[in-house]
Amino acid sequence: MKNSDFDEVSFLRRLVREAFESVKLMPREIKTIKAPSYYAFEFLLDYERGKTISSVRFHKAMDEYLLIELYSYRGVILRAKNGEPKIRVESSRQHPESINIGIKTIMHSYKEELKDMSLPIVLGVGDNYKPMIIDLANVGHILVGGATCQGKTNLLHAFAQSIYYSPRKVSEGCFVYYIDPKGVEGPRPYFDFYLTTMEEIRKELEMLCDKIEKRMNDTQLSRYPIMVLIDDLADFVITDKYFMDMLVRIAQRGHWAGVHLVVTSIPLSSQMFPGILKGNIPTRICFRVVDKYESRLVLDTPDATLLSQQGEMFFSHNGKLTRLQTIKTLE
Ligand SMILES: Nc1ncnc2c1ncn2[C@@H]1O[C@H](COP(=O)(O)OP(=O)(O)OP(=O)(O)O)[C@@H](O)[C@H]1O
Ligand SMILES: [Mg+2]
């Protein structure tokens, strides 16, 4: 650990301890974790048998103390898993590090882990700089939120590159669609289809809906995986309600038929973003947003307001939040 790291970690640790003491909790620190953009501390509470972490929630004062004391310093997030006497405190680093590793290198060094995945995608790196790779085919469709310029488009490129640099049998057996209504990205070797005009998009989405119907009606049909990346939903919704209907159909049935969506959007009001679409997109990612309300629209928690730099996000799946720094793919 460098000297400056050491100072920062000790300073944070002291603040956290004092906060705990102020509400007469004496947790045991079990882990200090370093990541490119944050430090995390994990504590174990010495609780009487039968009591669980939900009791800690009643210590509202602690929450407030920590937030007041540390929020002004830098974003701190306090998280506790239900039923476990474990508390995790995360704090943004004063001098975040940039990650100089590309998707290609990650995919090559994690070959073993990818063996049984049908759509492996690199989310980013988190605790102890460890890359997190998930199978899109397993987690359901993903909705990506975040304020402008925080890294949504960059992440979609990372997903497309993940497939491109996957072992041959993955990359050759699936298709990647990139739908870019703003028309700013341009085609790339790692997109199989690049669609920008309304006519192209409409035609291909209709074909995907058809394909899903056919695959559902005839189980003998090949179900090679298809990843559909949609960069900026807002443009669609505003221009044409028909697109929304097609998207809802893909979101509802695509997962079972091998068609997987990743949709980015600045957090939209619930009116613009119908519950039926959200309800069918179970997995969420949120980059930094300004407003707690916006963070809640995507993650159901206000945590994304505490993120501090471009490329930092929370990944939310099955009720678990993971903080990650995405891999830079755009210049
Ligand atoms: N993981 C990252 N590490 C470092 N810089 C990043 C990372 N991700 C994004 N950036 C920087 O942020 C800039 C904006 O990213 P991007 O275009 O993906 O944002 P966006 O959320 O799509 O914005 P918009 O809503 O305007 O489309 C990039 O050009 C890049 O310089
Ligand atoms: Mg963008």
pTM of the predicted structure, to 2 decimals: 0.91
Mean pLDDT of the chain: 86
Which residue puts its alpha carbon closest to atom 25 of ligand 1?
Answer: 148
- Of residues 312 and 269, the one with the higher pLDDT is 312
In the prediction, which pLDDT does 153 show? Answer: 98
How many secondary structure helices (H) and strands (E) does the chain include? 12, 14
The yes-or-no answer to whether 3-92 and 103-325 have a common fold is no
Examine the pLDDT at 264 and tell me if it is beyond 80.
yes
Distance, CA 158 to ligand 1 centroid (Å)? 11
Ligand nearest to the Cα of 149, by number: 1
Q: Check residue 298 and give its pLDDT.
A: 94
- Structure confidence at residue 49 as a pLDDT band (50, 70, 90): very low
Residues 18 and 25 sit within 8 Å (Cβ to Cβ): no
Residues flanking ligand 1, CB < 6 Å: 146, 148-154, 310-311, 325-326, 328, 330
> What's residue 76's pLDDT?
64
Nearest bound ligand to the CA of residue 327: 1
What CATH number should be reported for the domain whose range is 3-92? 3.30.980.40
Domain 103-325 fold is Rossmann fold (3.40.50)
pLDDT of residue 69: 62
- Contacts (Cβ under 8 Å, ≥6 apart) of 149: 310
Q: Look at residue 247 in the predicted model and tell me its pLDDT.
A: 92
The model's pLDDT over 88-119, given as tens digits with 9 standing for 90+, comes to 788 888 888 889 899 999 999 999 889 889 99
pLDDT in tens, 70-82: 655 555 666 666 5
Q: Is pLDDT above 80 for 55?
A: no
In sequence order, what E strands does the chain have? 28-34, 38-44, 76-80, 86-92, 120-125, 131-135, 142-145, 175-179, 193-195, 226-230, 259-264, 283-287, 312-317, 320-325
Question: What residue segments make up the domains of the chain, in order of their start?
Answer: 3-92, 103-325
More confident site: 288 or 84: 288
Q: Which residues lie across from 179 on neighbouring strands?
A: 195, 230
CA 7 to CA 24: how far, in whole Å? 26
